[in-house]
């Protein structure tokens, strides 16, 4: 049941991505201010939006895990954060390329949008070390969920702080007035956001399927191994040697 849905999701996201890229290069007009470099916008901004939404969604899943105690929500939260970090790497790299082309620098430290995204990204980079530092699976899932909720609350706060910052140079894309993009650019941008979002969902499902299959194969392995009581007792254990007291030197 799951495989056809995953394959159809993959095909749809590939088709939507191809449509988005075609619109970006052949339909959307070249920006009068930045020129051809502005085409990076159609991949950089959708990735940033989907990554930040992914972090918030992971927080919501973590709340569901803590409320229901269902470990599947913790797994979903983990996979969503993992993929959002992957997209975050893409946002930072494509942002650096765009900054170099537009501003002449790979990174600008006094730009609030860049630095705030880096802070959010670094915050989530601590999620996996924190998670795998805890051995007990129950505690691991609980602590990871608490982290995901607190960090998810930090994402919109960070976004608001950037919006309220006075001195900014980063272009405003989604304002209260709907931005100042011409209609072809807006349509292309929305298709690209939809394509990246669908790709995100597809990859999430792929990773969840892989994790589910791995867990099943581990369970099968464990079921095949004979239980400790059923194992034949070694001869040495059946007739234990008398304990020899250690001689103090």
Partner 1 sequence: MTALVLALDEAGRYVAGAYAVFVALIVVYVAIMAAKLTAIERTLEDLENARREPRR
Compute the distance between CA of residue 4 and CA of residue 69 in angstroms, rounded to an integer.
Answer: 30
Pick the piece of the chain touching partner 1 (CB under 8 A) from 90-98, 143-151, 182-190, 239-247.
90-98
Q: Does 180 bind partner 1 (CB under 8 A)?
A: no
Tell which positions 19-38 bind partner 1, by CB under 8 A: 21, 33-37
Tell which positions 217-246 bind partner 1, by CB under 8 A: 217, 220-221, 224
The SS3 call for residue 31 is: strand
Pick the piece of the chain touching partner 1 (CB under 8 A) from 130-138, 152-160, 176-184, 209-217.
209-217
In the complex with partner 1, which residue's Cβ is closer, 174 or 213? 213
Binding letters toward partner 1, positions 118-157, x by CB under 8 A: ----------------------------------------
CB distance 98 to 126 below 8 Å: no
- CA nearest neighbour of 121 among 95, 142, 139: 95
* Of the candidate residues 53, 97, 197, 201, the single one contacting partner 1 (CB under 8 A): 97
Q: Does 44 bind partner 1 (CB under 8 A)?
A: yes
Q: Which residues contact 197 (CB under 8 A, 6 or more apart)?
A: 46, 50, 53
* Of the candidate residues 9, 23, 28, 40, the single one contacting partner 1 (CB under 8 A): 40
- CA nearest neighbour of 128 among 84, 90, 81: 81
In the complex with partner 1, which residue's Cβ is closer, 114 or 149? 114
Compute the distance between CA of residue 231 and CA of residue 12 in angstroms, rounded to an integer.
Answer: 51
**What are residue 186's phi and psi, to 5 degrees?**
-65, -45
Residue 165 DSSP one-character state: -
The two three-digit tokens of residue 22, written as one number: 């075609």
In the complex with partner 1, which residue's Cβ is closer, 74 or 111? 111
For residue 135, what are the CA distances in angstroms to 58, 71, 74, 130?
A: 22, 16, 16, 11
Pick the piece of the chain touching partner 1 (CB under 8 A) from 50-58, 59-67, 199-207, 233-241.
199-207
Compute the distance between CA of residue 8 and CA of residue 40 in angstroms, rounded to an integer.
Answer: 28
The residues that touch partner 1, with contacts defined as CB under 8 A, are: 21, 33-37, 39-40, 43-44, 47, 86-87, 89-90, 93-94, 97-98, 100-104, 108, 169, 199, 203, 206-207, 210, 213-214, 217, 220-221, 224
């Amino acid at each position: 049941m799951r495989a056809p849905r995953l394959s159809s999701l993959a095909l749809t996201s590939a088709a939507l991505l191809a449509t988005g890229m075609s619109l970006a290069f052949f339909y959307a007009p070249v920006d009068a201010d930045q020129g051809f470099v502005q085409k990076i916008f159609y991949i950089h901004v959708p990735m940033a939006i989907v990554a930040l939404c992914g972090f918030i969604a992971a927080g919501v899943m973590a709340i569901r895990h803590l409320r229901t105690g269902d470990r599947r929500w913790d797994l979903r939260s983990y996979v969503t954060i993992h993929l959002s970090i992957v997209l975050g790497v893409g946002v930072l790299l494509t942002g650096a390329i765009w900054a170099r082309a537009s501003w002449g620098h790979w990174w600008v430290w006094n730009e609030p949008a860049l630095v705030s995204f880096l802070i959010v990204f670094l915050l989530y980079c601590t999620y996996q070390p924190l998670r795998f530092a805890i051995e007990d699976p129950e505690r691991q899932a609980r602590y990871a969920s608490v982290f995901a909720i607190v960090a998810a609350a930090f994402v919109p706060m960070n976004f608001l702080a950037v919006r309220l910052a006075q001195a900014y140079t980063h272009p405003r894309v989604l304002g209260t007035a709907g931005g100042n993009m011409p209609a072809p650019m807006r349509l292309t941008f929305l298709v690209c956001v939809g394509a990246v979002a669908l790709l995100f969902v597809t990859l999430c499902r792929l990773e969840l399927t892989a994790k589910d299959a791995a867990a099943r194969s581990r369970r099968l392995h464990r079921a095949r191994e004979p239980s400790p009581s059923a194992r034949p007792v070694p001869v040495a254990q059946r007739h234990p040697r008398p304990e020899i007291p250690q001689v103090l030197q």
